[in-house]
Structure 1
């Protein structure tokens, strides 16, 4: 991109908005070097990184990057054999510890199976040096001080220093207290020439003996090292020298340890800077409510609700800006201070930001193009030094643009043709726009000339636009109206301000009919636009209401199924209780029969006693209301034709019998062995249809017993126990005819998850299985689909 456009559209000011979010020197350097490019592959890569950063920002609050200084000069120094000081080593240590922390952070994202386009690519380029990191962290504090743990000798020397200092202080405390205090200017212990001294009055300089190291400005106080501590100070000084030598040795040793890894460390710092830069783009996007646009292959730009990033978000007016699909030239007309120039700059600046990989302040589903060059002629660049007028300055710039623009260029003209005679300026503007059209360049131009209002109707791939003006408030609204040319509001404004209507009528007569017709046409277009906008808002309201109704219906449906499940569960529980009670009563009856058989000795149980016992068992059966009301079943029963002599099964007794004669409308006399009984027709079944009741009962029982939950929770279960439950659960789910189920196994060590996966792979009725979505458990749960 040409440097002129970056300055004209204030691209550097946009970059400055990202600087406060950067914490590393490498990230700041990347931002300083950032310029828009025309390489589609590179732009896609940058935008993918921005999208990854937005995702991390939304899910985890951003990548954890601390403040890191530039370590490249340090690495250059150790490369030529120099040693680093403690503070420089601390900065290198921070790079290494940050490398470990960032890799650990990204590993957690991998475990959560969150997909990224570029984040993992950068993480793979980081080299973790655990031993070196541990050694540096153990030896150097964050402020650069060498720790006692750096070496055993350093620890010993520092312990000796502390003991020596304590001895000196104790000795001096004894000297400055009691009667000796009158010889001192102040009862304190201080330092001079790295030796402990006390402030002695000039007239008592010989009281303590020793060495005078300094005196006050007035000469009334001498700083004396008493003879009692001279030897102690000498010993302390030797220990301090030993400490300094050991620190020098340790720093040299640590610096030497860095030499084999200097390239890896430098690259780690680069990758951390890359993550820092990605963070800054995400935080900028959050501040600006910006998104990552889609790149359109045919340069069809569609910025929805575009906002200029340098205007405060609470004051900026959003506009839809479209160019490249139905038209490649947009001519904006209308009065000054309406927002034409800002709209022009917004298009160009957002396109520059997108081609630099930055998020842009537009709504979702916006799309950008990729232009090889963006040109702009904006503002009054009148030059006194070069003796150029406003018109000459504009023309010089336009000539340069015409020399370079092609079908991959976006050209922005502000007040095209201004600064000269209106007729000549309008003619020049039309000719320049025609030339741009012949080259298939993408053009947005602003102008005052009425001739260009008609131009938008007569030229292909060209459309008019204007900035809306509210005549009632006499102020612009800054809304872009595409398809509607700007019109002069002079008559309306003058009328509202109190100008005599007669003068306004005279002015209307003076203006030529063509201009008047044009203004009337524009007014009609504005009215049509407002009507369309009203209809659109009404449709939007209807859509919102329909969506709300849909949500209410879905909620009611969910409530219905939940309540149905509750009622079914309650019914099953009650049915189970009835069955259990019936079983108990049946056992009692069977037990009585056995007792009768045993007590009877040689005598057998009589037939009527057996029938009576069977009737008691039959009484345990509960009539099913649903079956009674089943119309299909009623028709099937009605279709049965019974006649005397037929062999039937008496269902309540479970005995074969022969029909003798019909009694009334719904009963038959039946011969059961030696007994003749009257039995209801509904209790009779022809022998050839005997299997039907059995099938009905089995089907009902299967319906009651096949209910299983759609989710199996195995967390906390042992491996063998869990796999056994899975086997039983899959069989039950298949009997229940479920299309899919969910098995919750947790994350843990992954052994149970692997065991379940192996089981599912070999099950012939399993169609497929996969981990649940992140919001339903992720890799802690598996969704199983059946064939």
Structure 2
């Protein structure tokens, strides 16, 4: 891509701002050298990593890469056998500290979700042990810790002792009153690493020793007294030993670094990459950037786009789309209305998107991938080349026309301005028409009315304008697509105080066609404002409807939830009632068998019956408090008689009428051993079969016996006179036989036939032993020939 467009669209300023967000020098270099790409997959990856970094920043604040230094030279030196100095080792330790921080940052709960940056963070090796060892041994760039090695600690201890001896010896010399008079000052100084005394030059002979230096005036000599020469020699040796030990320590640390050189080199590369990515993310955060959707079909759809170099609090967002329904956009309107800013915004955001930078626009904005972006914007006048503004622009346009194609974005600001308006307009139309033939996507600003007509009458070309408020004489900076702009020269001049007679004279000097066209534009502008107002009202109505719809949905969900709860509670209550009824039925049957055998007094049975009746009455009272929607009964019996067989609809149980209905239609119905109060509206008559005898009314004196008779007749109609026990164990058979004989006895059968088979005879013996113990069994015997022989026992009831 041509580099001239970077300066024209101020892309370089974006890179300068980006570099300020990077911490390492290598990342800063990368920021300044970003070039727009044309491979959509690579661009999407760059955008994804930047967007993921921005998400991490929003979740867990900032990550610092301060401390990342280029260590490739140091690693190269130790690879060829060299040793690192303290500064280089501290830089490596600092690098590993940054790697440790970055690793911890990625493991933070807020950043634990995997994204495109996860592999980079995972590849970091903090090498904490190595970093801690370097910091333990090296305190500063020029200082090694005493604890770096036991040898160094011992040497430094000796040095401190030797210093004390030398100072003591020199203090003894200085305390001598005679010697003190020879000294310039009573202080100990050091020259060339050896302790000396400042002696007056004229007393040089009185202080024997070695002269190491003199003052600038020559009046003072720095003499090492003979008494401390040997001590200074010993101290010098200790300093040499210390230096040697420090070299040994640095060599050991360098060897340890060498063993991890690959991991350290990887850490450096990864940290620079992360520094670079997070710098892009921080830049995006500054202007609230988003990830654009890319395409290769030349379609641009920027939603609420903002120029990134303008004050984000003041800049007016623009919506602009081009490349789908039309390939060229002609932007017109008054000066300072925002035409050039709109032009630059499209070009700059396209460059940023292809460079992998998030753009200052709303989500779902779309950008096209162009191989070349050309721009002719601003004052191109060249004094050196003796070119006028028009000539300079035309030179640039000629170059653009030589290279533009269907994969190019071309931007013109005031196309063919600076020359005769008639010729300039014709030339501008010809240039745009040629680009249309090339298939290039183009956007141009102009004041020429001819270009407005060209956009209105040409396919693949659309008008646009930057809105201007004539009342306040100020632009709104809103870009309106589909409407040509009006120059508003007369209106602006009138507002600024130009006399009406001059304005009227000017109006008379323009052609009727031009005036009509301007009036048409004014009408279009008024229509646009009306439509815009109605659109806003419609949008408000839509929002209100959506709010109401959401409220209804919420209410419906609440009702559905309550409904489900009621059904669930009802099912649970029904289950509880069924379980209670089953338990009550089981207890009643057991008691019935017990009372039937005569082992309990009738008074106890009556108490049980009264308790059961009380429980049923309580249940009826509860049910009476609950309003239920009943099915309409179209077969309400009219003339009921005691003993009639009826079906209780609410219980789905068949019973017999025990009492006649009262004035409210309430009566008692006998259902098996239970008797319940029901309403006649809950009953339907059941046709009698030949086995029942309740079709005629009976006297009140025989109510109870008739009821018992009904139960027995019902039993006799349903209980078989034979039971088959073949295949059962003796325990199973006796349990079933016990219940069967009770039912048969209640049904008033005279005898029953028990089939047990011949087999081993064990089941037969068990059956007959059981029959022998029953008081209501009058006799039993094996079946005769034709009745089943020894495989059947005939039992007769008493």
Q: Do they superpose with TM above 0.5? A: yes
Q: Does 1:312 align with 2:343?
A: no
State how far apart, in whole Å, the 2-side matches of 1:143 and 1:478 are.
Answer: 57
Q: 1:632 matched to which residue of 2?
A: 630
Q: 1:76 matched to which residue of 2?
A: 76
Q: CA deviation at 1:320?
A: 1.4
State how far apart, in whole Å, the 2-side matches of 1:398 and 1:129 are.
Answer: 58
Q: How does 1:291-440 map to 2 (within 5 A)?
A: 291-440=290-439
State how far apart, in whole Å, the 2-side matches of 1:557 and 1:167 are.
Answer: 97
- Aligned in 2, Cα 1:500/1:386: closer, same or farther, shift over 3 Å? closer
Q: Which moved more, 1:59-68 or 1:121-130?
A: 121-130
Deviations 1:428-477 (A, max 9, x none): 11111110000010111122222111111121111122222222222333
State how far apart, in whole Å, the 1-side matches of 2:395 and 2:306 are.
Answer: 30
SS in 2 for 1:628: coil
State how far apart, in whole Å, the 2-side matches of 1:197 and 1:558 are.
Answer: 97
The count of aligned residue pairs is 671
- Aligned in 2, Cα 1:684/1:632: closer, same or farther, shift over 3 Å? closer
CA contact (8 A) 2:299 2:322 kept: yes
State how far apart, in whole Å, the 2-side matches of 1:416 and 1:492 are.
Answer: 25
Q: CA deviation at 1:479?
A: 2.4
State how far apart, in whole Å, the 1-side matches of 2:164 and 2:638 are.
Answer: 116
SS in 2 for 1:476: strand
SS in 2 for 1:541: helix
Larger Rg: 2
Deviations 1:13-39 (A, max 9, x none): 101111221111221122122111212
Q: Does 1:644 align with 2:642?
A: yes
Q: Does 1:86 align with 2:86?
A: yes
State how far apart, in whole Å, the 1-side matches of 2:476 and 2:111 are.
Answer: 51
Q: CA deviation at 1:164?
A: 4.8
Q: 2:16 matched to which residue of 1?
A: 16
State how far apart, in whole Å, the 2-side matches of 1:648 and 1:249 are.
Answer: 113
State how far apart, in whole Å, the 1-side matches of 2:560 and 2:214 are.
Answer: 95
Q: 1:751 matched to which residue of 2?
A: none
Q: CA deviation at 1:512?
A: 0.3
Q: 2:29 matched to which residue of 1?
A: 29
CA contact (8 A) 1:63 1:275 kept: no
TM-score of the superposed pair, with normalisation by structure 1: 0.73
State how far apart, in whole Å, the 2-side matches of 1:252 and 1:671 are.
Answer: 109
Q: 2:154 matched to which residue of 1?
A: 156
Q: CA deviation at 1:285?
A: 0.9
What is the RMSD computed on CA atoms of the aligned residues? 4.8
Q: Which moved more, 1:278-287 or 1:129-138?
A: 129-138
Q: CA deviation at 1:351?
A: 0.6
- Aligned in 2, Cα 1:144/1:657: closer, same or farther, shift over 3 Å? farther
CA contact (8 A) 2:46 2:356 kept: yes
Q: 1:761 matched to which residue of 2?
A: none
Q: How does 1:516-531 map to 2 (within 5 A)?
A: 516-531=515-530
Q: Which moved more, 1:124-133 or 1:345-354?
A: 124-133
SS in 1 for 2:630: helix
Q: CA deviation at 1:302?
A: 0.9
Q: Which ranges in structure 2 are unaligned for 5 or more consecutive residues?
A: 687-798
Q: Which moved more, 1:65-74 or 1:404-413?
A: 65-74
State how far apart, in whole Å, the 2-side matches of 1:200 and 1:625 are.
Answer: 124
Q: CA deviation at 1:364?
A: 1.4
Q: 2:54 matched to which residue of 1?
A: 54
Q: 2:612 matched to which residue of 1?
A: 614
CA contact (8 A) 1:26 1:269 kept: no
State how far apart, in whole Å, the 1-side matches of 2:243 and 2:493 are.
Answer: 87
Q: How does 1:691-730 map to 2 (within 5 A)?
A: none
CA contact (8 A) 2:390 2:418 kept: yes
State how far apart, in whole Å, the 1-side matches of 2:207 and 2:625 are.
Answer: 119
Task: Kindly indicate whether structure 1 or structure 2 has the higher relative contact order, using CA contacts under 8 Å at least 6 residues apart.
Answer: 1
- Aligned in 2, Cα 1:679/1:382: closer, same or farther, shift over 3 Å? closer
- Aligned in 2, Cα 1:646/1:479: closer, same or farther, shift over 3 Å? same
State how far apart, in whole Å, the 2-side matches of 1:24 and 1:635 are.
Answer: 90
Q: CA deviation at 1:201?
A: 8.0
- Aligned in 2, Cα 1:680/1:556: closer, same or farther, shift over 3 Å? closer
State how far apart, in whole Å, the 1-side matches of 2:190 and 2:127 are.
Answer: 43
Q: CA deviation at 1:407?
A: 0.2
Q: CA deviation at 1:283?
A: 0.8
Q: Which moved more, 1:243-252 or 1:550-559?
A: 550-559
State how far apart, in whole Å, the 2-side matches of 1:152 and 1:372 are.
Answer: 66
SS in 2 for 1:363: coil
State how far apart, in whole Å, the 1-side matches of 2:79 and 2:265 are.
Answer: 12
Deviations 1:584-634 (A, max 9, x none): xx9xx99xx9xxx9xx99866444333233345556658446873011278
CA contact (8 A) 1:669 1:678 kept: yes
CA contact (8 A) 2:447 2:487 kept: no
Q: CA deviation at 1:185?
A: 7.8
Q: CA deviation at 1:83?
A: 2.3
State how far apart, in whole Å, the 1-side matches of 2:85 and 2:239 are.
Answer: 18
Q: 2:720 matched to which residue of 1?
A: none
State how far apart, in whole Å, the 2-side matches of 1:615 and 1:539 are.
Answer: 69
State how far apart, in whole Å, the 1-side matches of 2:556 and 2:171 are.
Answer: 87
CA contact (8 A) 2:97 2:131 kept: yes
Deviations 1:538-592 (A, max 9, x none): 23333444455566667778888999999999x99xx9xx99xx99xx9xx99xx
Q: 2:509 matched to which residue of 1?
A: 510
State how far apart, in whole Å, the 2-side matches of 1:672 and 1:368 are.
Answer: 82
TM-score of the superposed pair, with normalisation by structure 2: 0.72
Q: How does 1:568-717 map to 2 (within 5 A)?
A: 605-618=603-616, 621=619, 623-624=621-622, 628-632=626-630, 643-646=641-644, 659-668=658-667, 681=679
- Aligned in 2, Cα 1:406/1:603: closer, same or farther, shift over 3 Å? closer
State how far apart, in whole Å, the 2-side matches of 1:625 and 1:165 are.
Answer: 109
State how far apart, in whole Å, the 2-side matches of 1:94 and 1:541 are.
Answer: 58
Q: CA deviation at 1:666?
A: 3.9
CA contact (8 A) 2:184 2:198 kept: yes
